[in-house]
Amino acid sequence: MLSKKLEKALNKQIQIEAESSQTYLSMASWAEVKGLEGISQFMYKHSDEERMHMLKLIKYVNERGGHAQISQLKAPKTDFGTFQKMFEELLEHEIYVSKSINDLVHVSLEEKDYATHNFLQWYVAEQIEEEALARTILDKINLIGNDKGGLYLFDRDVKMITVESAAASGEE
């Protein structure tokens, strides 16, 4: 059985994961309109992944005797300036999510809820991979600079990049 404090903290994380999904969906739409098909496909996949993170939390809260709350979300921005700025925002957002997960782990330990602590370890590992992926992509973008040919190749190749591939290549 979840404590009320932990249930509240998990519900906050559900909202964060939902907002992450919406943010990446907005990024996908922006990239698609700009003709960046590979980047948009990557961001659509990323949005779906964040939604799955949210659903996993919802099911966990409900299975542990809590009640997962589906809350109103703040609308994400719709213009990202440049694809480089967009990926910088993605990294900043993943760092924010990592901090939130770490705070949640802290609450689980305060509440001596070791089942939840164990459950959250998947999210801890996932965030390491998410941050590594964002940094890897930013490194590639910085190599490209203003080279249009490089952007074309990056856009073509980024749809093949996944969280798993960044982790598998040891770029953490």
127 labeled binding residue: yes
72 labeled binding residue: no
110 labeled binding residue: no
Q: What gap in Å lies between CA 64 and CA 61, rounded to an integer? A: 5
Query: Residue 69, CB half-sphere, CA atoms under 13 Å: how many?
Result: 14
Q: What are the residues whose beta carbons fall under 8 Å from the beta carbon of 157, sequence distance 6 or more?
A: 38
Two tokens at 103? 């705070």
Could you give the C-alpha distances from 131 to 111, 137, 162, in angstroms and in order? 28, 10, 12
46 labeled binding residue: no
53 labeled binding residue: yes
Amino acid present at 51: R
Q: List the Cα angle 17/2/67 in 5-degree steps.
A: 55
Based on its alpha-carbon atoms, the radius of gyration of the chain, rounded to whole angstroms, reads: 17
> Binding-site residues, please?
17, 50, 53, 94, 127
> Binding-site residues for Fe cation, please?
17, 50, 53, 94, 127
